[in-house]
Structure 1
Amino acid sequence: MGDFEIRKDRQPQGPGRLTRERAEYLRLVKTGLSNTRASELVGVNRRTGSRWLYGRNATGRDRAAPSITMAPPATERSRYLTGDERIRIADLDREGMGVRTIAAELGRAPSTISRELRRNATVDQRGRRHYRPYAAQARAQARRPRPKPSKITLDPELRTRVQDLLDERWSPEQISRRLKRDFPDRPELHMCHETVYQALYVQARGGLRRDVAAALRSGRTRRKPRGQARQRRPRFAHPMVMISERPPEVIDRAVPGHWEGDLIIGSGGGSAIGTLVERSTRYTMLVHLPHGRGAEQVAGALAATVTTLPAHLARSVTWDQGSELSRHHEFTTATDIPVYFCDPASPWQRGSNENTNGLLRQYFPKGTDLSVHSREHLEAVAVQLNGRPRKTLGWDTPAERLAKLLEASN
């Protein structure tokens, strides 16, 4: 390190006070040392070294100049390769140097050089790749301007398919995954779910209908964390069988026929809809409660709903400690289906049902009267919900999984 000595004063020096340290750091990097090692030898934080190496204010939003500029910047080093660096890469590549050797020569990361040779090379008529620095510089400058048009905006077919599935109340991730699965040989229809969110949320890319509240089941116009689920701790006179006593086959979802249940409540607590979700298939059934949500009404409607199922698909029900199922013993006597109760304030113990209740709020918003919905409407909502592909099912739909179970039992 010559006559350079690490400074004894290790307090922050502020911008422009570490001239000798910076010069020594850049000299060490030029010899091929990494940012971390060079920073350690000079006695500065590696983040300081990174700023010296790549520049403090490089944001990646600079627009391209009207002509191809091959001269390096006059100020701090850019995060982007310069024209002169590309000329050096071409020279070393022609000499047969490897990626890591070129990276050490330029003081860049090997991944930067590898990506540059892969993305900006020229392919001749015989399919051979040649790295030509001026052509590479032109490609890089043409690629840099922002913002870029969205894939959904550019492709009318993709936009139509996405809009149709949003109208079916599919989430962006369900749309993305199912398009890749249904059209594996058509990459023009493949995109990540974030592309759909951007088309909905960012007005500059509004290739889809701008009514975000209608397109997304959350009804939100911007993202925010979910709130905690409501917590209830009622007491039952009749002894409850707790969730800890469920057989192992329920916990690992290996055997179908075990359900999770709850109510979604309407405005003022005067109306409700019962929900049942099968744990292995996520198949949903809605319980019509036209006469209120008292314990007698819930037990009777729940029993009438589960008796429509084959015996091997009606093995147990897991519920929270809501007072609406205080007559659980009557339900079990009538149906021969045991009821297991979650611990107080533990909604995650019925995670599938809690998730489904959140999805159902798109159809039955909070603060509305749920008694106006007929049995036929509830059945139609359940059909649409069971027709959505689920990530946890490998992008099968709950209806498809249930149909497989019924076929296997015949």
Structure 2
Amino acid sequence: MPRWAHNKLPSSVQKRYFELVREGHKGAAAARMVGVSTSCGSLWFIDAGRMVLADAPVSARFLTQDDRIAIADGIHAKVGVKEIAASIGKSFQTVYREIQRNSKSDGRYQPWWAHNQALLRRGRSKEEKIRGHEPLRTVVRDKLTEKWSPQQISRFLTRAYPDLSAMQVCAESIYKALYAGLLGCRSGKLRTGRSRRKPHRRGVAIPNKIKNMKLLDQRPAEVTERQVPGHWEGDLIIGQYGAPGGATAIGTLVERVTKFLILVHLPDGYKAPQLRDALIAQTRHLPESWRKTLTWDQGREMSMHEQTAAATGFDIYFCDPHSPWQRGLNENTNGLIRQYFPKHTDLSIHTAQDLQTVAAQLNQRPRLALGDRTPAEAMRALLTNGSTS
């Protein structure tokens, strides 16, 4: 667009001209009302490309027309991008992206053209697949009710309907549909029970009084390779504090190769003697070759680890303080278990049979790491083949 005198008018004049056009005034009338010629208004309109009206209010977290005018004025005045961003209360990355994305083909940043382009991109070309397809919605809802994760559901749909794209959907679309209310009440649908991510922070390690601990650097290399079964990770999930019978817990043991889960019933508490006795009694059914190592955190409940190891045959190793990623499989499995045993609830009300039922259900869920086999299938195959060494 030629840089003639009428383009040197303040941006407020152009802003008022486009406001009048959006209100329904003819271009010539809008030009007269702001004090410019019809040809000047026409050039402004042509440079803007077209006039797009927002079909719904634009969230304040997005750039407004006024923001884009301020960006254009800043560029014209040769102000730095960071200074422009500070003046409109946005990050400089947002302003950089805006200039790169919405500049015209000749490299100029025209605020009304930019705003029109942003509004045009807002529209969704088609209805969400889950919203418009009742059979798909039903299958997804049923699997969520069975406590499957969106990732597991997405993979299941791909396997079950390989030639029917209408019945396939990605995990992110399932999350969005759930949060949009398309799959019923979202409370309790996801295993965490939360609708947003929970921030975490690392604690400060304190000296531990457990004697004769063997740390991970002493653990055999075959444990890390996950090729030989019989290596387990263990932990406790803690229930309600202040319960009538005291704090309650459930022990969790996960086999590293098959992801097979054992839930340890702790009806008498979870101090070291009770955990020792429960581990001895409730792992006795495992073949000896499946009791190679057990990796635990440095919780005091494992302070009798030498007695436990002597009675069970496990070699017990300890993670570094505040390093849950060193037992990542166990931490992930604890998240699955929390679907059944939410935090801050009394875990003493659950019987040993209840725990066996939950473990059986989790061991029947397909896992991506197992090629979508279940832990029960993986363990059965290894026991049948005799792959224990």
Partner of 2:108: none
Partner of 1:272: 249
Shift of 1:317: 0.4
Give aligned-pair identity as a percent.
Answer: 47
SS at match of 1:212: coil
Is 1:300 aligned to residue 277 of structure 2? Answer: yes
RMSD, aligned CA = 2.8
One-letter amino acid of the structure 1 residue matched with residue 72 of structure 2? P
Matches within 5 A, 1:263-342: 263-268=236-241, 270-342=247-319
In 1, distance between residues paired with 2:335 and 2:97? 45
Consecutive unaligned residues of structure 1, counting only runs of 5 or more, are: 1-12, 22-44, 63-78, 80-143
In 1, distance between residues paired with 2:115 and 2:372? 43
In 2, distance between residues paired with 1:294 and 1:50? 60
Partner of 2:186: 212
- TM-score normalized with structure 2 length: 0.68
Partner of 1:172: 150
In 1, distance between residues paired with 2:176 and 2:97? 35
Which of 23, 41, 56 is residue 114 of structure 2 equivalent to? 56
Return closer, same or farther for 1:273/1:157 CA change in 2, 3 Å cut-off: same
Aligned residues: 290
SS at match of 2:254: strand
Consecutive unaligned residues of structure 2, counting only runs of 5 or more, are: 1-69, 79-95, 106-112
Matches within 5 A, 1:8-407: 15=72, 48=99, 50-53=101-104, 55-58=113-116, 61-62=119-120, 145-146=123-124, 148-203=126-181, 206=182, 208-209=183-184, 211-220=185-194, 222-228=195-201, 233=206, 235-268=208-241, 270-407=247-384
Shift of 1:227: 2.5
CA contact (8 A) 2:210 2:300 kept: no
Return closer, same or farther for 1:51/1:185 CA change in 2, 3 Å cut-off: closer
SS at match of 1:57: helix
In 1, distance between residues paired with 2:345 and 2:74? 64
CA contact (8 A) 1:234 1:323 kept: no
One-letter amino acid of the structure 1 residue matched with residue 139 of structure 2? R
Return closer, same or farther for 1:307/1:201 CA change in 2, 3 Å cut-off: same
Shift of 1:241: 1.2
SS at match of 1:214: coil
- TM-score normalized with structure 1 length: 0.65
Return closer, same or farther for 1:310/1:14 CA change in 2, 3 Å cut-off: closer
In 2, distance between residues paired with 1:147 and 1:14? 29
SS at match of 2:104: helix
In 1, distance between residues paired with 2:370 and 2:343? 28
Shift of 1:252: 1.5
CA contact (8 A) 2:291 2:313 kept: no
Return closer, same or farther for 1:333/1:16 CA change in 2, 3 Å cut-off: closer
SS at match of 2:72: coil
In 2, distance between residues paired with 1:46 and 1:229? 34
SS at match of 2:334: helix
CA contact (8 A) 1:174 1:389 kept: yes
Shift of 1:232: 7.0
Higher deviation after alignment, 159-168 or 304-313 = 304-313
One-letter amino acid of the structure 2 residue matched with residue 152 of structure 1? I
Shift of 1:242: 1.2
Superimposed CA distance per residue, residues 383-407 of structure 1 (whole angstroms, 9 cap, x where no aligned partner): 1112222232232222221122122
